[in-house]
Structure 1
Amino acid sequence: MSLFWRIFLLNAVVLAAATALLLWAPVTVSVPIVLTEAVVLTGGMVAMLLANAVLLRIGLAPLDRLTRLMTRIDLLRPGQRLPVTGRGEIADVVRTFNEMLDRLEAERGDSNARALSAQESERRRIARELHDEVGQSLTAVLLELKRLGDRVPEELGADLRDAQETTRASLDEVRRLARRLRPGVLDDLGLVAALTALTTEFRTHTGLDVRRRFDPDLPPLPNEAELVLYRVVQESLTNVARHADATGAEVALRRTPAGVALRIRDDGRGLGRSKEGSGIRGMRERALFVSADFTISTMDGGGTEVSLHVPALDRSS
């Protein structure tokens, strides 16, 4: 039944009921109208309007649910759908909206995959250039300064040693940036070794007490999933160090029946009323890239918890 006929019949039912009551009820209208007749007619009109409003509310309820869903829909939180009940135009609208969400989520997933792949390729290129070009140039400068230190007068030796220390510090910073852009240890030694190095680096450079809890029997994961886990830990610890006012954090990896569960907790001030920034939305996009479940919330005792559940590698396929 179309929406037009649905509304028309609802109003027709109300009007027919009101007409039947007027025909068979012992009510008459005098000229001029008396007070009791006016009260009866007014009460009947109010009852008719209320009945019409209730019936229309029931009939148009699916459109209200669709409107509420449309105002809060977020493609980074997939799976939000409305149940399709009955037939007619409203059911067709709900079904079409659900199908549109399916297409948008699929297209968003494809575009995210291409963007993240291009981003990692660019990170790899920049890291390689930092390591090979800038790193080697600074190493050559450091060696030249050392060679000059053996030939210059003693009164210039202190200045040359200061220049050597500055160059050595710059070389260490370039190497650290290259490791953050593309963790070579992840490709060479695996996820656990890469996260161990990452947390150790954060403890050294930020003073944050980062604790690790890694299960020894983690299942094999796709390369993309390991990279997503690494990036989520990296972004989470960066947020903790910059915004959480925390003194400690915990990074845990545990085996689950479906794959691997990552959990990062801190003892900071929590999310509060702040909106999700680009860092958190970037983590959500990475989670969608590997079909992982991502959640972030403020814990009851304070602090923030980030959780990521990644499916394991299907060896049967």
Structure 2
Amino acid sequence: MGIDPSFPSAWRADAEQAVSEWNSIAGKRLRFVLVSPEFADITFSVAYLGGAYGQAEFPANGEPGHRVRIDPSIPTSLRKLVFVHELGHCFGFRHTNLYVNGEGAGTVGGNVITETPREDANSVMNSGSSPNQSQGWRGFSKYDVTGFQNLYPIFMSPGMYAPGTLMKIVARSTGQALTVEGNSYATDARIIQHPYNGTGNDQWLLQDAGNGYHKIISRNTGYALTVQYDSYTPGGQLIQHPYNGTGNDQWEIQEAGLGYYKIRARNSRQCVNVYNNSSSVGAPIIQYPYDGNANEQWYITFAQ
């Protein structure tokens, strides 16, 4: 990110703090640094906007929005909030209250991000018509953080993160997490989908199993994600089981596009799948040949 020479020096600290606030969100793929404007992907500048305090471009052609423009009339108390907000547009966020204020989806999206609600009164991405926007910077809402993590999820191969880093694995189709049923400590307990609650039965350690494969270990039990009976049959149930390294508990994690991953069993070459594309809480997790549907594509990001 860069700051145009036209930008008042008194505003620079707020711009730097806005960048730092986005950087402070853990578990996302992006990180931002301030550079000379001629080298920047996104540049802050001054412009007369006819009543709006800020304006930004949306991403296009695989690149972020390149400009954040700020009106000279912006009150000091709102600068940091507006700078954070406009950067959000450059990353691809629409107004969180776009359906409330009548904007509608338009031609540039308006899609609700996985694990976030349709409305969030505390979001920094609400438009200026929202009452919370008149109060200045109060921090990101819970769903701002979740939305940014899920829009730009990070998956790091073993060795790229600190030992013991916990991950959650979330189905694209439902937003529910890979979970040991009933918080069970029993060998061979089923794996299901369930709304994430952070109690340990839905948190996982990804560990190197060699040759490009991973073992996926339950936080609570230390047991590994396993294809039951070492089955090669489509629909084979996934369970937790003590790791034995025979291939039915080793997984290849491959990009599926748009920040999602497919998780493929070493032995059967079938993928982790929500049974029958179900949206039900408690639906079983099985293996099934990959066909590109959303019930076999997964967010892998830091557990909270």
Greater RCO (CA < 8 Å, at least 6 residues apart): 2
| Higher strand residue share | 2
| Higher helix residue share | 1
Mark the structure with the bigger radius of gyration: 1
